[in-house]
């Protein structure tokens, strides 16, 4: 996934290690993995940030400090921290490594941001509850060399900047150590005896409702306003997401940023104007990955994020079908590593970095399995198949199609 983010246009990647990060259930990186990822990223002029953003208990302090030193030694470009003790320790242990303040710290105002800058922070990742007017004011009142990072896409949380106790209370899994069970997204029944002084309606059904199931964030169409507000870095949330999700959204947001910057080359100011008009295919990319209902988060005070009260699961209208492995120009045959079923006549797309997806129809003849035998369809995952394809497709391109 790190390599995919690099290949599809990210100029920085943040990742969690096996310890002290906020993604306990994910496929986390060992130190060796991170070092390998750094080599790949740096070869492509991309930076790597390591998340060490839990709030450690007493028993974790010594291990955390040793881990900070190990991360600095292998060359991470920044450490993303929450705890002030970790911040101060990192200054001593990793003096030449940038320090970024995690969204878990809940930075909501210019005074807090400036104080953290004085303590050594190069960047603050804002609390997700900040609006665009508040970000603009912060940018005007903090040191010019203090960078601002903001989440622009991905899962939101019903608790303030992800600081929640529901999971630990209901399951014993600590969200503040990256082990959230997402208890807030379960279906609940409200049982209430008298409701003194409460006037909001509570719908009574046999099915219950998803009271705390927050919508996902999608600011793709509004990146011009986010950048104009003074945000230095745009962050895509990717906890426990897959390679295809990373590819599609990185490609979309990279295209959007490039569109914005190109449109501003001859402009005289950074105010919103008609220079930011995204192609329709870019705007549709967030709907071609697994997602919940979308909102614009807290960026606009008049319309903040809500909850999806009638469903708790994901929306998966499109599927990742396979990945291009090789293309033979002599035979005009494409070899793909399959992930999901593909049948003759099916309309699919090739997703490739930096370009609009290419439509393609699965051919009615000429499909072969890895032994070279003709087959009627591609119906086995994690196997290689070849099929006729007149378009030259580079390795790494992803095939996707609508869920059948």
> What is the domain-level CATH number for residue 385?
2.40.30.10
Q: Looking at the structure, do residues 357 and 281 belong to the same domain, yes or no?
A: no
Give the alpha-carbon dihedral of 353, 359, 365, 370, to 10 degrees.
20
Whether residues 66 and 97 share a domain: the answer is: yes
Structure tokens, 65: 């400090």
Residue 154 has pLDDT above 90, yes or no: yes
Looking at residue 193, its pLDDT comes to 63
22 and 112 in a single domain? The answer is yes
- Tell me, yes or no, whether 270 and 151 share the same domain: yes
Confidence of residue 376 (pLDDT cuts 50, 70, 90): very high
Q: Which residue has the higher pLDDT, 162 or 333?
A: 333
Residue-number span of the structural domain to which 371 is assigned: 318-402
Structure tokens at 174: 């600590």
Q: Is 195 left (phi over 0), alpha (psi -120 to 50) or beta?
A: left
Mean pLDDT over 119-128 rounds to 97
Q: Report the pLDDT value the prediction gives residue 196, as an integer from 0 to 100.
A: 52
Residue 125 falls inside a structural domain:
yes
Instruction: Return the bridge partners of 50, or none.
Output: 15, 79
CA dist., res. 162 & res. 105, Å (int): 10
Same-domain status, 38 and 133: yes
Q: Which residue has the higher pLDDT, 112 or 202?
A: 112
pLDDT tens-digit series, residues 286-341: 999 999 999 999 999 998 877 776 777 789 999 999 999 999 999 999 999 999 99
Give domain status of residue 113, yes or no. yes
Residue 326 sits in the same domain as residue 251:
no
pTM above 0.75, yes or no: yes
Asked if 263 and 379 sit in the same domain, the reply is no
Our count of domains for the chain comes to 2
Q: Which of 207, 218, 225 is nearest to 252 (CA)?
A: 218
Tens digits of residue pLDDT in 202-235 = 454 555 567 777 889 999 999 999 999 999 999 9
166 in helix, strand or coil? helix
Exposure letters 29-40 (e unless 16+ CB within 10 A, then b): bebeebbebbee
Any domain includes 60: yes
Is the pLDDT confidence value at 270 over 50? no
* 194 part of a folded domain: no
Digit-coded pLDDT (tens) for 227-257: 999 999 999 998 778 999 999 999 999 999 9
Please choose, from the candidates 92, 90, 93, the residue with its C-alpha nearest in 3D space to the C-alpha of residue 102. 90
Domain stop point among 295, 326, 352: 295
Cβ neighbour number for residue 251 with a 10 Å cutoff: 26
Choose the weakest-confidence range: 4-18, 121-135, 198-212, 362-376.
198-212
| Average pLDDT of the chain, as a whole number | 89
265 shares a domain with 379: no
């Amino acid at each position: 996934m790190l390599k995919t983010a690099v290949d599809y246009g990210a100029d920085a990647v943040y990742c969690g290690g096996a310890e002290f990060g906020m993604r306990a259930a994910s496929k986390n990186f060992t130190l060796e993995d991170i070092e390998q990822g750094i080599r790949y990223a740096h070869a492509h002029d991309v930076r790597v940030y390591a998340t060490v953003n839990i709030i450690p208990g007493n028993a974790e302090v010594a291990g955390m400090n040793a881990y900070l030193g190990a991360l600095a030694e292998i060359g991470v470009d920044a450490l993303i921290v929450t705890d002030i003790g970790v911040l101060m320790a990192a200054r001593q242990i990793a003096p030449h490594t940038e320090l970024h303040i995690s969204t878990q710290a809940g930075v909501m105002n210019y005074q807090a941001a400036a104080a953290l800058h004085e303590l050594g922070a190069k960047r603050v990742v804002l609390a997700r509850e900040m609006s665009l007017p508040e970000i603009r004011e912060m940018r005007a009142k903090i040191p010019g060399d203090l960078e601002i990072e903001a989440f622009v896409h991905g899962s939101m949380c019903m608790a303030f900047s992800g600081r929640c106790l529901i999971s630990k209370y209901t399951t014993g899994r600590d969200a503040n150590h990256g082990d959230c069970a997402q208890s807030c997204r379960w279906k609940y029944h409200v049982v209430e005896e008298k409701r003194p002084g409460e006037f909001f309606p509570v719908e009574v059904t046999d099915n219950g409702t998803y009271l705390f199931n927050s919508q996902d964030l999608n600011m793709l169409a509004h990146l011009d306003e986010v950048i104009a507000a003074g945000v230095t870095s745009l962050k895509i949330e990717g906890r426990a997401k897959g390679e295809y999700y990373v590819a599609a959204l990185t490609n979309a947001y990279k295209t959007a940023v490039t569109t914005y910057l190109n449109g501003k080359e001859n402009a005289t100011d950074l105010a919103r104007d008609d220079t930011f008009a995204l192609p329709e295919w870019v705007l549709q990319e967030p709907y071609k990955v697994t997602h919940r209902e979308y909102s614009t988060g807290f960026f606009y005070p008049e319309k903040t994020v809500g909850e999806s009260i009638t469903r708790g699961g994901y929306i998966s209208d499109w599927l990742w079908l396979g990945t291009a492995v090789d293309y033979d120009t002599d035979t005009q045959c494409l070899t793909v590593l399959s992930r999901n079923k593909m049948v003759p006549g099916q309309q699919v797309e090739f997703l490739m970095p930096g370009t609009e997806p290419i439509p393609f129809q699965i051919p009615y003849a000429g499909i072969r399995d890895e032994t070279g035998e003709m087959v009627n369809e591609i119906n086995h995952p994690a196997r290689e198949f070849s099929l006729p394809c007149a378009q030259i497709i580079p390795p790494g391109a992803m095939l996707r199609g609508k869920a059948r």
